[in-house]
């Protein structure tokens, strides 16, 4: 059977599974819809979080990025994993103890302010919308490359599938589909990685082959021969300060992204929140430690099989000619010597390699069976759909719960709230689909903004809300506004205004760290000069800090009633 | 024991629990910063002088070692907190709880 037939079969099987799970987990109330009845076991929530987190970009583009950046690609590896330590130690257990439905819920309640809730809700919607557009685009691209379906048709098919399980099952449907999607995507990622590791290093475990073979050393040698920096050389493309700031901004942003935080509301208790953060990072780490191995293997392999070869030799490679057709791989014998060469200089370089090809073409380069190649398509779709569905739910809950129920119509019945929630998922899917079909030019630019804003707004507001009882409404609002405005201003200046990164050479992606520091400082100072939070808020904080089900002697409420 | 005494005793246990939690978080975050900011970024050039298997150590820390450490740190935290939670619950069990004890969850 051909790759295309296999792809069709695997994609249809996986879609039917997602639809079946969505139907099985349909919900009747808002607790089920927004937080999956708080009944998701820690291990399952870990897998769901991992699928939620790893997007089309992690699956398709990250290894490629690393293979072009070498050491400097570590900003993504550490940035997108280190945040989970912050999440597990500083946020997740306390937010679970708090026990409400959304991130703006915590901000609004802790800072006893509708305005704070409004800022948080708008930031959550903005951050999630930017992110989801890219996912829908990813769905379309996978469809078009593997099934020769038009991108728009691919996006529409993806929309229908997500709409089905997200509208019926809300967070519950999304969670259980994400568990399955994690399994699909990790198998799809590991099979080619293991195969190419076995071929190049003789060790089937990519992490070990990467560390204990001489492949990286050889790659260093080849890179230097071709005029590139050594693959392992630090700070070849970015300065040390910039690498530090970007890594930190990605970590803080990861810990502050609402669609990740909200997953920890769905476990049964505080203990579950701690362990599921561990499981989530373990599941993520399986892919994230394979990616740098795959990146170096693929780079070695590409240079080895293409560089200094004659045009005829290259045309004999079936995968090379096939990917040339897609435009992701291109050859041009510029100096007319009958051979093609890879060089760091654009004017003399004769091989054009798109970074997405690293993951997408590896199975063919490693000469895997057609079904394994087809699995990569199903895996890419699983990665994109799972992330999209998690983001859609955040948008829906921010509108239906925070804006509609808590701010506009507090008298809304359970049925009305559930209906608005379902309706908003539908609206969000249509908006996301529209951006997927007509991608605005600014999508790539605003992803930096999503992380920067999450780092500069949510992270400090939540951490101080838990760890500093003295932080009050005035401080938190001032801090969030300073963080949001400074970060937006800097990123817009650089990405849209064309300014040089004037602040210590920190690029737009790294400014979230500075925004976070500004937010922290502002919040602490303003809080000290304004009235302390009311007593019931201090009690809320005290309660959030204690383990759940602690026997409480003579509860404060009881004693007050005696007075 | 009267009510205000047992209440202040409970508060003392509760703040001891919180202090222990903060100390644990601080220690784990120091390790977190050491492997990611320290070994993988600030001192990476120095560590790259050492080889681990076929790769320079600093590079390996940035692309493998730090991630493994992150996973271990979270599980250590979860495990240690289980112990702290248990100790806290045991220590407050002896405080008079016969009256209006409410489950706040």
Tell me which chain B residues have a C-beta less than 8 angstroms from the C-beta of A88: 74, 77-78
CB contact under 8 A, B36 and A289: no
A190-227 per-position pLDDT tens digit = 999 998 899 889 999 999 999 998 888 889 988 888 88
Residue A339 β-bridge partners? A310
Report the relative pairing of strands A339-340 and A329-331 from DSSP bridges.
unpaired
Distance CA A74, CA A234 (A): 10
Residue A436's SS3 state is helix
Return the pLDDT at A442.
60
Return the pLDDT at A452.
87
Which of A467, A553, A558, A560 has the highest number of chain B CBs within 10 A, making it the mutation to test binding with B? A553
CB contact under 8 A, B32 and A82: yes
pLDDT band of B1, cuts 50, 70, 90: low
What's the rounded mean pLDDT across residues A60-74? 89
Q: CB contact, 8 Å: A539 with chain B?
A: no
CB contact under 8 A, A558 and B102: yes
In terms of CA atoms, which chain A residue is nearest residue B53? A212
Distance CA B63, CA A77 (A): 6
Tell me which chain A residues have a C-beta less than 8 angstroms from the C-beta of B95: 553
What's the rounded mean pLDDT across residues A45-61? 89
Return the pLDDT at A346.
82
Query: Using CA of residue A37, residue A39, residue A44, residue A49, what is the dihedral sign?
Result: positive
What's the mean pLDDT when you consider all of chain A? 87
A69-86 per-position pLDDT tens digit = 899 999 999 999 999 999
CB contact under 8 A, A550 and B78: no
What's the rounded mean pLDDT across residues B13-23? 92
Asked if residue B102 has pLDDT above 50, the reply is no
- Contact between B44 and A191 under an 8 Å Cβ cutoff? The reply is no
Return the pLDDT at A85.
97
Asked if residue B59 has pLDDT above 70, the reply is yes
Which of A223, A546, A562 has the highest number of chain B CBs within 10 A, making it the mutation to test binding with B? A546
More confident residue, A322 or B59: B59
Asked if residue A14 has pLDDT above 80, the reply is yes
Write the CA distances from A429 to A159, A166, A319, integer angstroms: 6, 10, 36
Residue B55 β-bridge partners? B52
For the entire predicted model, the pTM comes to: 0.91
CB contact under 8 A, B63 and A82: no
CB contact under 8 A, A78 and B29: no
Tell me which chain A residues have a C-beta less than 8 angstroms from the C-beta of B32: 82, 85-86
What's the rounded mean pLDDT across residues B73-98? 86
Q: How far is B19 from chain A (nearest CA, A)?
A: 11
Of A167-176, A250-259, B95-104, the one with minimum mean pLDDT is B95-104
A291-348 per-position pLDDT tens digit = 999 999 988 988 888 888 888 888 888 788 877 877 778 888 888 888 888 888 888 8
Distance CA A136, CA A436 (A): 5
Q: CB contact, 8 Å: A275 with chain B?
A: yes
A422-454 per-position pLDDT tens digit = 999 999 999 888 888 887 666 556 666 788 889
A212 CB-near residues (< 8 Å, 6+ apart): A201, A203, B53, B54
Q: How far is A27 from chain B (nearest CA, A)?
A: 23
Tell me the range of A221-225, A423-427, B65-69, B101-105 where mean pLDDT is highest: B65-69
Asked if residue A563 has pLDDT above 60, the reply is no
Tell me which chain A residues have a C-beta less than 8 angstroms from the C-beta of B99: 553-554, 558
Kindly report the number of other CB atoms within 10 A of residue A269's CB atom. Answer: 17
A106 CB-near residues (< 8 Å, 6+ apart): A95, A98, A100, A462, A465
Distance CA A33, CA A419 (A): 10
Phi-psi region of A146 (alpha: psi -120 to 50; beta: other; left: phi over 0): alpha
CB contact under 8 A, B54 and A274: no
Distance CA A473, CA A425 (A): 31
Distance CA A488, CA A522 (A): 17
CB contact under 8 A, B101 and A90: no
More confident residue, A4 or A273: A273
Distance CA A516, CA A399 (A): 25
Following DSSP, what letter does each residue of A322-339 receive, concatenated? HHHHTTSEEE--TT-SSE
Nearest partner of A550 among B65, B46, B16, B89, judged by Cα: B89
pLDDT band of B70, cuts 50, 70, 90: very high
- Residue A561 CA, chain-centre distance (Å), reads 48
Asked if residue A507 has pLDDT above 80, the reply is yes
Tell me the range of A228-237, A318-327, A463-472 where mean pLDDT is highest: A463-472
Write the CA distances from B102 to A535, A542, B10, integer angstroms: 19, 15, 14
Distance CA A365, CA A376 (A): 13
CB contact under 8 A, B55 and A547: no
Return the pLDDT at A554.
41
* Residue reference for tokens 């508060």: B11
Asked if residue A274 has pLDDT above 50, the reply is yes
CB contact under 8 A, A71 and B105: no
Of A11-20, A218-227, A491-500, B23-32, the one with minimum mean pLDDT is A491-500
Which of A255, A547, A558, A562 has the highest number of chain B CBs within 10 A, making it the mutation to test binding with B? A547
Asked if residue A105 has pLDDT above 60, the reply is yes
What's the rounded mean pLDDT across residues A37-59? 91
Q: Which of B59, B88, B99 sits opposite A550 (nearest CB)?
A: B88
Q: Please list the alpha-helical segments (H only) found in A398-442.
A: 414-437
Asked if residue A508 has pLDDT above 90, the reply is no
Residue A395 parent element (H or E): helix A370-397
Return the pLDDT at B74.
97
For B31, what's the count of Cα atoms within 13 Å in the CB-facing half-sphere?
19
Q: CB contact, 8 Å: A69 with chain B?
A: no
Q: How far is B81 from chain A (nearest CA, A)?
A: 8
Q: How far is A425 from chain B (nearest CA, A)?
A: 29
How many residue pairs bridge chain A and chain B with CB atoms within 8 Å of each other? Answer: 183
CB contact under 8 A, B105 and A549: yes
Asked if residue B104 has pLDDT above 60, the reply is no
The fraction of chain A above a pLDDT of 90, given in percent, is 41
Distance CA A25, CA A29 (A): 12
What's the rounded mean pLDDT across residues A135-151? 78
Asked if residue A561 has pLDDT above 70, the reply is no
- Contact between A460 and A525 under an 8 Å Cβ cutoff? The reply is no
Return the pLDDT at A338.
83
Return the pLDDT at B62.
95
Distance CA A365, CA A72 (A): 25
Q: How far is B84 from chain A (nearest CA, A)?
A: 9
pLDDT band of A185, cuts 50, 70, 90: very high
Return the pLDDT at A550.
53
- Contact between A339 and A310 under an 8 Å Cβ cutoff? The reply is yes
Query: Would you state the structure tokens that stand for residue A324, as one six-digit string?
Result: 């040339």
Asked if residue A248 has pLDDT above 60, the reply is yes
Tell me which chain B residues have a C-beta less than 8 angstroms from the C-beta of A93: 81
What's the rounded mean pLDDT across residues A261-265? 92
pLDDT band of A155, cuts 50, 70, 90: confident
CB contact under 8 A, B59 and A71: yes
CB contact under 8 A, B53 and A558: no
Return the pLDDT at A55.
86
Q: CB contact, 8 Å: A411 with chain B?
A: no
Which of A62, A255, A295, A552 has the highest number of chain B CBs within 10 A, making it the mutation to test binding with B? A552
What's the rounded mean pLDDT across residues A174-183? 93
In terms of CA atoms, which chain B residue is nearest residue A549? B103
Q: Which of A82, A274, A543 sits opposite B104 (nearest CB)?
A: A543
- Contact between A452 and A487 under an 8 Å Cβ cutoff? The reply is yes
In terms of CA atoms, which chain B residue is nearest residue A243? B41
Return the pLDDT at B43.
94
pLDDT band of A562, cuts 50, 70, 90: very low
């Amino acid at each position: 059977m051909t790759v295309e037939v296999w792809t069709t079969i695997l994609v249809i099987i996986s879609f039917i599974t997602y639809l079946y799970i969505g139907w099985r987990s349909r919900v009747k109330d808002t607790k089920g819809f927004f937080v999956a009845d708080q009944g998701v076991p820690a291990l399952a929530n870990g897998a769901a979080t991992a699928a939620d987190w790893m997007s089309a970009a992690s699956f398709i583009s990250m290894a490629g990025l690393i293979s072009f950046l070498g050491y400097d690609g570590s900003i993504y590896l550490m940035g997108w994993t280190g945040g989970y330590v912050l999440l597990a130690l500083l946020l997740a257990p306390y937010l679970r103890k708090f026990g409400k439905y959304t991130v703006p819920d915590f901000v609004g309640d802790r800072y006893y302010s509708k305005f704070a809730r409004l800022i948080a809700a708008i930031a959550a919607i903005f951050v999630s919308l930017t992110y989801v557009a890219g996912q829908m685009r990813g769905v379309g691209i996978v469809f078009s490359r593997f099934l020769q379906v038009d991108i728009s048709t691919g996006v529409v098919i993806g929309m229908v599938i997500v709409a089905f399980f997200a509208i019926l099952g809300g967070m519950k449907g999304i969670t259980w589909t994400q568990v399955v999607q994690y399994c699909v995507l990790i198998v799809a990622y590991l099979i080619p990685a293991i195969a190419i590791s076995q071929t190049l290093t003789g060790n089937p475990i990519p992490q070990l082959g990467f560390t204990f073979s001489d492949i990286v050393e050889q790659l260093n040698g080849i890179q230097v021969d071709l005029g590139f920096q050594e693959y392992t050389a630090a700070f070849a493309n970015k300065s040390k300060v910039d690498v530090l700031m970007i890594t930190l901004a990605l970590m803080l942003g990861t810990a502050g992204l609402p669609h990740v935080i909200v997953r920890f509301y769905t476990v049964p208790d505080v203990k579950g929140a701690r362990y599921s953060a561990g499981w989530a990072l373990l599941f993520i780490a399986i892919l994230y430690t394979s990616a740098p191995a795959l990146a170096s293997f693929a780079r070695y392999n590409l240079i080895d099989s293409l560089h200094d070869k004659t045009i005829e030799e290259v045309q004999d490679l079936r995968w090379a000619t096939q990917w040339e057709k897609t435009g992701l791989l291109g050859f041009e014998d510029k100096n007319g010597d009958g051979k093609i060469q890879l060089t760091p200089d654009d004017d003399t370089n004769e091989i054009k390699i798109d970074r997405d090809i690293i993951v997408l073409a590896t199975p063919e380069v490693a000469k895997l069976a057609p079904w394994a190649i087809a699995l990569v398509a199903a895996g890419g779709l699983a990665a994109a759909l799972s992330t999209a569905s998690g983001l859609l739910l955040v948008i829906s809950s921010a509108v239906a719960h925070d804006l509609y129920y808590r701010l506009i119509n507090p008298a809304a019945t359970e049925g009305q709230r559930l209906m608005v929630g379902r309706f908003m998922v539908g609206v969000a899917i249509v908006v996301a689909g529209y951006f997927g079909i007509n991608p605005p030019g600014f999508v790539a630019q605003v992803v930096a903004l999503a992380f920067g804003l999450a780092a500069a707004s949510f992270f400090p507001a939540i951490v101080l809300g838990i760890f500093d009882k003295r932080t009050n409404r005035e401080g938190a609002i001032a801090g969030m506004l300073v963080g949001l405005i400074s970060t937006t201003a800097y990123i817009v200046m650089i990405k849209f205004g064309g300014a040089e990164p004037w602040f210590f050479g920190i690029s737009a992606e790294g400014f979230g760290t500075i925004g976070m520091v500004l937010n922290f400082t502002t919040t602490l100072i303003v809080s000290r000069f304004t009235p302390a939070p009311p007593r019931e808020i201090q009690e809320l904080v005290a309660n959030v800090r204690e383990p759940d089900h602690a026997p409480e002697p003579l509860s404060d409420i009881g004693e007050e009633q005696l007075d | 024991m009267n009510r205000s005494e047992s209440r202040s005793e409970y508060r003392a246990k509760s703040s001891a629990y919180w202090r222990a939690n903060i100390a644990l978080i601080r220690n784990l975050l120091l390790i977190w910063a050491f492997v990611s900011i320290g070994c993988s970024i600030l001192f990476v050039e120095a560590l790259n002088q050492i080889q681990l298997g076929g790769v320079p150590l600093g590079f390996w820390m940035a692309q493998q070692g730090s991630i493994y450490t992150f996973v271990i740190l979270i599980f250590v935290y979860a495990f240690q907190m289980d112990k702290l939670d248990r100790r806290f619950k045991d220590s407050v069990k002896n405080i008079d709880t016969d009256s209006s004890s409410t489950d706040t969850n």
